[in-house]
Amino acid sequence: MNAVFDPAPDDRPFAVVDIGSNSGRMIVFRLRQGEHLDVIEDARAPLRLARDLRESDRLGPEAIERTLEALRDFVAVAKGAGASQMIAVATSAVRDAADGHELIERAHHLGVPLQTIDGDHEASLGFFGAVHDLPVTSGFTFDVGGGSAEISSFRDRRLIRSWSMPLGSLRVSDSFLTSDPPTDDELRALRKSVKAALADTGITELSKGDQLVGIGGTVRNLAKVDLRRTDYPLPLLHGYRITDKRLSAVIDELAGRTMKRRAHVTGLNPDRADTIVGGALVIQGIAKHVGASEIVVSSRGLREGLALATAGASAPSPEWVRSISVATLAARFRTWNAAAAERRTGLAADLLESLDPSAPPRLREMLAHAATLLDVGRAIDYYDRFEHAANIVVAADLAGFSHAGLGVLTTILRQADDDTRLGPYARLVPDDDHPAVLRAATALALADELNRRIPPGAPAPISCNWLRGGFELVAPVPSGWRPRGVARRFRSVFDAELLVVANEAAPVLAPALEPD
């Protein structure tokens, strides 16, 4: 494959390969609007290179051939997805191996432009991939791989400093946890070693408002185990928060099982059964060291960071990331009309400004996204488009949103329908915010009713006034029109009557056939 990367047009997929100490991964991406990555295909192979390296300072022929087999498969999948370009990096195990150059040379013969990156570069790419798609501003990121652990400090979404330490899950598991299941003494020894390693780094505690972001397969598997133990409403790992208490409970369960029984824990990839406890203790040690009460999980990391950095992407604000992600999702659907969505969004914003002038900026933003995305639900079924739009939002795993933000967005969509049920995602919305969300949903319902009655391309001037008798809405609608379902909702939510006044005659449609 082409080893020279040229930032691809939006419709040209490209592949990113990461040869780690524990596993190898390949993802085929498509870059949208210079900032948003669509996943087209992926492939994974358990490699366990750190275990081969532990026996000597070399990977050895078997490990090299095992890795080349994975690379051959990655190339096949990438080509099958239409990728003509590939970026490939190797991390801890290959860069530490005396014969790492042999693997790199043979990879080049396969057409894979494999190169090693140092620990600092690895940490910076992981930081970029994780923070780009999360609504976080400052704190630390960590990535516990198979051979090493990388930690990065960031402020205002910009990297400050990175550290790389030999605390990978495979490395520490082989060094400390030799019993099955591990003994209490082994667990204590590993915890002590992690604490000592972190004490020498100069890594400080989190400041107020900072967050700890976890990257990589180890933390994702721990989060998945925790998520499956609850009735959490969103099936999403990206943005999931696991508290220190819940992390301890997951560790206790995993450490108390033999490797064979551990492999059957719901949510855990069986390939990680031999390394997950060691990696979990490293993560727990990092969280304690920086004083984090919870970890924000990122499903993005090194591979996404490498793709974005190579393509020249920036580190935009979370608001910008959300807007690009929403626009990219909407554009996938033939039922979505940009002009209609834009007009509906403007109407909803104007209505909310009059109906709830104290609505916070974040609620206004979620209302705008809901108004933009409503029509994607038509792709499933017109009559249940509100609910289908909400479900599509969840399935799409939009970038830049917190789970609470997704809860607000999906609840607005569901409640904009003539339905008083909160729905499953409303549990993510604080109870005190439910009245404001319902007001926003009512504004969306009314905006949609207005939008449906205005011809394509026509302006939609409205004026709103609170009167003693209720709320007067002057709009370009047919004379005598009353939005009955919305009017009932309006009365319930605002304890006022909705009074609609037509400011011009309704548009007259031409007859299908002229009379003789």
Among the listed residues 149, 435, 170, 409, the one whose alpha carbon sits nearest the alpha carbon of residue 301 = 149
Mean pLDDT for the chain? 91
| Contact predicate 187/281, CB 8 Å | yes
CA dihedral 112, 116, 121, 127 (to 10 degrees): 50
423 compared with 151, residue with greater pLDDT = 151
Q: Are strands 211-215 and 139-144 parallel, antiparallel or unpaired?
A: parallel
Say if pTM beats, i.e. exceeds, 0.75.
yes
Task: Give the pLDDT mean for 266-277.
Answer: 94
Identify the burial level of 360 via C-beta atoms within 10 angstroms of its C-beta, where 0-12 means exposed, 13-18 middle and 19 or more buried. exposed
Counting every residue written for the chain, the total comes to 516
Structure tokens at 306: 């490498």
Q: How far is CA 432 from CA 9, 371, 428, 496, 497, in A?
A: 45, 23, 12, 22, 25
Phi, psi angles (nearest 5°) of residue 514: -75, 140
Residue whose token pair is 């400004």 = 353
Percentage of residues in the chain having pLDDT higher than 90: 77
Residue 422 binned pLDDT confidence (cut-offs 50, 70, 90):
low
428 compared with 504, residue with greater pLDDT = 428
Task: Give the pLDDT mean for 433-462.
Answer: 93
Residue 509 binned pLDDT confidence (cut-offs 50, 70, 90):
very low
| Contact predicate 29/9, CB 8 Å | no
Instruction: Convert 97-129 to b/e letters by CB count within 10 Å (16 or more is b).
Output: bebbeebbebbeeeebbbebbebebbbbbbbbb
Lowest mean pLDDT among 87-101, 130-144, 305-319: 305-319
What's the pLDDT score for residue 421?
62
Among the listed residues 421, 273, 302, the one whose alpha carbon sits nearest the alpha carbon of residue 19 = 302
What's the pLDDT score for residue 2?
52
Structure tokens at 22: 């524990």
Phi, psi angles (nearest 5°) of residue 230: -120, 180
510: pLDDT strictly greater than 90: no
Please report how many Cα atoms fall inside a 13 Å half-sphere around the Cα of residue 108, on the Cβ side. 8
Among the listed residues 163, 58, 157, the one whose alpha carbon sits nearest the alpha carbon of residue 118 = 163
- Which domains are seen in the chain, by residue range? 14-117 (3.30.420.40), 120-304 (3.30.420.150), 318-457 (1.10.3210.10)
What's the pLDDT score for residue 11?
67
What's the pLDDT score for residue 8?
47
66 compared with 422, residue with greater pLDDT = 66
Among the listed residues 29, 110, 38, the one whose alpha carbon sits nearest the alpha carbon of residue 67 = 110
516: pLDDT strictly greater than 50: no
CA atoms of 68 and 514, how far apart (whole Å): 73
What are 104-115's pLDDT values in tens digits?
Answer: 999 999 999 999
What's the pLDDT score for residue 277?
98
